[in-house]
Structure 1
Amino acid sequence: MKKKIITSAFSNLYTDQRIEKVCKTLSDNGYLIELIGNDWGGNEKMERSYSFSRIKLKSKSLKTAYFEFNWKLYKELEKKADKNTILHANDIDALLPNFLIAKKLNIPLVFDSHEIFTEMPAIQNRLSQKVWRLLERSLVPKMKFMMTESQSYAEWFREKYGVDAVVVRNIPRKIFSAPEIPNNNPRIILYQGAINQSRGIDKVILAMHNINEAVLKIAGDGPLKKTYENLVVSEKLENKVFFLGKLKPENLREVTKTADLGFSLEENNGVSYYYSLPNKVCDYIQSRVPLVMINFPEMQRIKDKFDIGEVVTNHHPETIEKAMNRMLEKGRKFYAQELEKAAGVYCWENEEEKILELFRKASGN
């Protein structure tokens, strides 16, 4: 009989597609899954094929919410874990209670680092960064079983802490039939994901002044949404830039298929962004949508293998505008063959065996 897996994360779970995919893969392969998140940032109704719960948080600030969650998670794990359990911690902000319980019960712990948490722009140059770095330095070198989201992340963890992480890219499940290429007028440029700093969204908004017969649709939510809405008004681009809000994953997939062009233009505000493979890159690929990317290592790797769009070397609106105009002139059909080949490589089905092998090792099998 396979072991029980308790997966935990500082997340409301609703839009966390990586956790959903990992848990479903493990559940479909006979593991009993219990997923624990929290209600910070929402408590939307959710359906899963495995057990899940959300820890209720009373905190009003994110800083105190982290402490409250870690304490309450420790108590939950103490109640639910036993000798037949594998603990599965997602990111540094859920690692300490998992580590303590794993040590207490002498049971395996799998650590999944979705990013280089301590190098995220949101915590840089703050006291909290020192706290997370202390935890990282103390715990990560002790991880026997670890996975992370990109080859560049894995190389960073190996160089920094001497730990070998399995690369499990956060990429979507295969869409087996290529969506029909739309005949949009005006054509649609799509951004999907969190509306946070360092995503290049404001630069694309400014580029829309000189991209003709096209509109920009922004699907997602985040702390900078209002700022960018104000930018659109101040630039008098209300007829060219539209905010779609936060969409359910299944609804977002339908929107993505309708786009003529996507983009992933993260800015180099720390190694976590620089070494990332943003989820949206492979979401666009699966929907056979070409894209403009910044020349960060993971995106350059893809472009070196498949001609799925253009790579730019800076975030100047003029640079972005020229790349997008060239691609829109070529049209989505121009990239269809290369996108089809890339979709066969960058799909979740190719990641699943790596996850199962890692958990087999953690089980002692």
Structure 2
Amino acid sequence: MASRAFREGLAALDSGHAERVEYLGCDDGRSAEAPPDPGRLFVKRLPPPPSPPGSPRVLRIASLPRWYASVFREVRRRRDFDLIIAHNLASLPIAVLLKRVTRTRLLYDAHELETQREGWSWPIRWAAQVAESLLMPHVNHTLVVSDTIRAWYERRYPKAGFTTVRNTPSVVGPVQKSEALRRQLGLREEELLCVFLGMLSPGRGIEEMVEAFRQLPDDKHVVFVGHGVLRECLSADAQTHRNIHVLPPVAGSEVVSYASGADVGVVISAGKSLSYRYSLPNKLFEYAHAGLPVIVSDLPEFRNFVEREGLGWVIPPTPDALRDLVLGLSREQVRRMPKRETSPPSWETEAPRLLGVYHMLAHSADG
């Protein structure tokens, strides 16, 4: 979330739509990702700390009113900003209140299908839908990350305005291939390496990937690059299986080059929630820019991506399907696959859509 928010802030600054961008977040006690331009982008984390990951969602929701109060105290006396951006549904209530108090504009950046998140119980999902439906009339415009999610929102809120701004990485010029990842893992030249980038949490196909690679020979490797609640379990599997690896995340500016040391990118989430089913994660674009073919599950945006980019496989999101596919792949076979004829979408090609929204909001009536 932070990297997308920073890119949006830099786009506003570089285009002249803003002179200063400030981010207010929760003080979770962890070191936050540093902004790429600390002279113009400013991050402030406000108390109280949220309930830790893994705690009941009701407790995490219950901590929000105190954070709302901190945010309100922070900005209530100020009138020196022109646009408020809520980067998820949890921050939308206080953003709407601040919009009404400051009489400015409000942009809702839905980083996923916010009311249909993975793992939410029916009561929480119902409460989220009610809250969003009450707040949406106060939103001036909404950003979404895939066309499928935009279609869902347009059906639900036909009077609101939506723009798809995909969560693509910033890539300028050719990507320099790197063997750092393979060297770090100590792989032999002929050994195949699959990579998963991102949060290591349930619902993302990680458990299915582990089960598949437990059954594969030692020359078929998978590496999980990221952090999350599954990291400890993955580390235990890495201790007992030579072909399963876990590494910490790398800086966003280094992800694409780092991933280029792998042979295949994998994302086979089952899509149990609508948010996952309609998702178009940034890792797909990172794999593409790294020059990797991809293995994806048969979800609408995933299939469209593979058909559009023309390099990859679509499979059922099961351990058996992944195992059978990888078993028949060799590194030499993957390296002989045709290269992409055009450059994949990047933030540089996606940002004009965002700038169009900024321009529209700058010239619209207040509130």
Same fold (TM over 0.5): yes
CA contact under 8 A between 1:157 and 1:164: conserved in structure 2?
no
Q: Return the offset for 1:308.
A: 1.5
1:300 aligns with 2:306: no
Aligned position for 1:241: 244
Q: Return the offset for 1:136.
A: 0.7
Alignment gaps of 5+ in structure 1:
1-14
AA partner of residue 87 (structure 1): I
The one-character-per-residue Cα deviations of 1:342-365 (angstroms, maximum 9, x if unpaired) are xx2411111111111101111117
1:284 aligns with 2:282: no
Q: Return the offset for 1:178.
A: 4.2
Query: Which of residues 226, 235, 239 is equivalent to 2:232?
Result: 226
Paired with 1:337 and 1:307, the residues of 2 have a C-alpha distance of 9
Paired with 2:216 and 2:229, the residues of 1 have a C-alpha distance of 27
SS at match of 1:242: strand
SS at match of 1:93: coil
Percent sequence identity is 18
Paired with 1:293 and 1:34, the residues of 2 have a C-alpha distance of 37
Q: How does 1:4-19 map to 2 (within 5 A)?
A: 16-19=2-5
Q: Which has the higher helix share?
A: 1
Paired with 2:250 and 2:231, the residues of 1 have a C-alpha distance of 14
CA contact under 8 A between 2:195 and 2:223: conserved in structure 1?
yes
Q: How does 1:208-223 map to 2 (within 5 A)?
A: 208=213, 209-223=215-229
CA contact under 8 A between 2:26 and 2:50: conserved in structure 1?
no
Q: Which moved more, 1:190-199 or 1:301-310?
A: 301-310
CA contact under 8 A between 2:196 and 2:223: conserved in structure 1?
yes
1:316 aligns with 2:318: yes
CA contact under 8 A between 1:181 and 1:333: conserved in structure 2?
no
Aligned position for 1:152: 148
Q: Which moved more, 1:115-124 or 1:50-59?
A: 50-59
Count of aligned positions:
342
Paired with 1:228 and 1:281, the residues of 2 have a C-alpha distance of 22
Paired with 2:304 and 2:61, the residues of 1 have a C-alpha distance of 36
CA contact under 8 A between 1:121 and 1:269: conserved in structure 2?
yes
1:69 aligns with 2:57: no
Measured on the aligned residues, the alpha-carbon RMSD in Å equals 2.3
Aligned position for 2:191: 186
Paired with 1:39 and 1:292, the residues of 2 have a C-alpha distance of 37
Paired with 1:169 and 1:41, the residues of 2 have a C-alpha distance of 30
What TM-score results when the alignment is normalised by the length of structure 2? 0.85
What TM-score results when the alignment is normalised by the length of structure 1? 0.86
Query: Which of residues 14, 30, 37 is equivalent to 2:25?
Result: 37
CA contact under 8 A between 1:288 and 1:336: conserved in structure 2?
no
CA contact under 8 A between 1:55 and 1:69: conserved in structure 2?
no
The one-character-per-residue Cα deviations of 1:57-93 (angstroms, maximum 9, x if unpaired) are 23452334333322222232323344x5111111111
Q: Return the offset for 1:35.
A: 2.2
Q: Which moved more, 1:85-94 or 1:221-230?
A: 221-230
SS at match of 1:156: helix
Q: Return the offset for 1:326.
A: 4.1
Query: Which of residues 107, 110, 115 is equivalent to 2:107?
Result: 110
Query: Which of residues 151, 169, 179 is equivalent to 2:166?
Result: 169
Q: Return the offset for 1:101.
A: 1.7
Cα gap change, 1:21 to 1:240, in 2 (>3 Å)? same
SS at match of 2:77: helix
Q: Return the offset for 1:211.
A: 4.7
